[in-house]
Amino acid sequence: MNKQPQIWTRLLGENADVNKIADNVPDDSGNVSFAKLFGKITAVPLEKGGVAPEREDFNALFKLLGEVAYYFMHGGIYNYANNIDYDVGSFVRYNNQLFVCITANGPATALKAPSDLNYWANIKNAVKLATARTINIQDASGTNTGTGINFDGSSNEIIKLPENIKANLEGNSKTATKLATARTTNIQDDLLGEGGKVVFDGSSNITIKLPPLIASQLLKDKTKNYGNDYYDDSDITSLIYAGNGSGTVRAELAAGNFERLHPGQYIKGRVTGTTYVVVGCNVYLNRGDTLLTRNHLGLIPIQLVGNSGSLLWSGQKWTGDATKNTTQGYAPWNADNETVGKNVTCAYKDSYMAKTVIPKVINNWLKKDFEDQGISVLTFRNLFSIGFDANLPCMSYPSWKGACTYAEWADCKAVLMSEPEVYGGYRWASSPYESHMQHLQLPIFRHRSIHEIIVADIWLKDSASVSLACLVGWTGFASLLDASFACRVCPLFLIA
């Protein structure tokens, strides 16, 4: 145990094809389950009726365990949950702070949230001792004792001297500058050991150091990026619009300090009223043929809000439907939908979405809610597919035809999310040339499924064939529709 294992730089099996692991399966099933793992049937020879375990099941197990290992390797600590029994010494996150269990609790005993300091201790801002101590004063002879108090650190206390004291007093007590015998002073925690001992004789001020595990590991450095470590659904509108002077959250963002910024937080647009959700901190940092070096927040709009003059598109919802779109944030992926036969996909850079819809989002929403308020919407370099072969098989479903063949770098201010950014891998995409630089899962979707963030059909950046484009279905599952169908538009953009 002396040698530290290698820290992973990416998730184990992040792009692996996997099966969903069920809670339980029948005894004659060859599939894996949480209850039984692989059943006995998988140990029976195939010629005797056995069932071979599936590669996708093994992938799913390794990926599931890899996600937990990766999270802990990168300093993750799980949020408090009221359905778990916690033992003394267990660590949890709660309301953006770190707590340690000091009295066992949970469904089996008593449900106690970390706000109850009789059961939990706040690591950073402890307000009381885990165990109260009795403090008293006694004279040198041991004959007379004062009035003892129970002290747990939660309030100031007064210790009363004995009414009668037997002792030898030497020197001038009123003007003494030091103790006759120096004493060693220290701080000790029941779980994390001792701090730095200091010899104190009263002749000068001293500083007592915390135990190293508290000082170095649990109180994280504010200058480092821990913003993506956990999910927080708080409203940060006032913080973002409070300017960028010293002490503001935007000044912290510029310096790469994400202590107050996390996936799941949201901003209400000052002009349009649109809700924008933080999908991660520094999501595209050091990417691109010209590296993006500015610290930033990645955002997506939940639903674009505006007046009728800012509609992304006002055609039919699909070919043959007489209903006209009157809701902001809906548009076809690559068609005007006014003409039958327009239902075709193509390379993203030449698509109706990239050339017409996204620029409207930038001008009618992002400019008004951010740039006009003094908040930078970053231009970054991204790879856009520019070649499309109608006869090339789809990567994800080879019987379909139509796939992108190559891509090139281009300036970008907003872009549709890709399948890997939402799901951590490919589901229906025709080619990796479409996601390309957008190949890593966004931090928010490591904590929550997209269905917990948005309930709607949402266009993604990837095409699936000559006529189908990829999307997030309203149930949260990866799906696809005709490219002329009208779905919600939630492009990703960066602010600094």
Exposed e or buried b per residue across 339-355, where buried means at least 16 C-beta atoms within 10 angstroms of its C-beta: eeebbbbbbbbebbbbe
Averaged pLDDT of the chain: 86
| pLDDT confidence band for 302 (50 / 70 / 90) | very high
- The 10s digit of each residue's pLDDT in 248-279 is 999 999 999 999 999 999 999 999 999 999 99
Q: Which CA distances in Å does 98 have to 68, 120, 379?
A: 19, 10, 36
Asked if residue 14 has pLDDT above 50, the reply is yes
Q: Residue 490 burial (CB < 10 Å; 0-12/13-18/19+)?
A: buried
CA-to-CA distance for 374 and 349, rounded, in angstroms? 29
DSSP 3-state assignment of 311? coil
483 closest CA partner among 246, 249, 356, 318:
318
According to the model, what pLDDT value does residue 360 have?
94
| pLDDT confidence band for 149 (50 / 70 / 90) | confident
According to the model, what pLDDT value does residue 223 have?
41
- The 10s digit of each residue's pLDDT in 46-93 is 888 888 898 898 888 888 888 888 888 888 899 999 999 999 999 999
Asked if residue 385 has pLDDT above 60, the reply is yes
pTM above 0.95, yes or no: no
91 closest CA partner among 133, 68, 117, 120:
120
Asked if residue 24 has pLDDT above 60, the reply is yes
Asked if residue 222 has pLDDT above 60, the reply is no
CA-to-CA distance for 261 and 252, rounded, in angstroms? 9
Planar angle of CA 216, 220, 226, nearest 5 degrees = 145
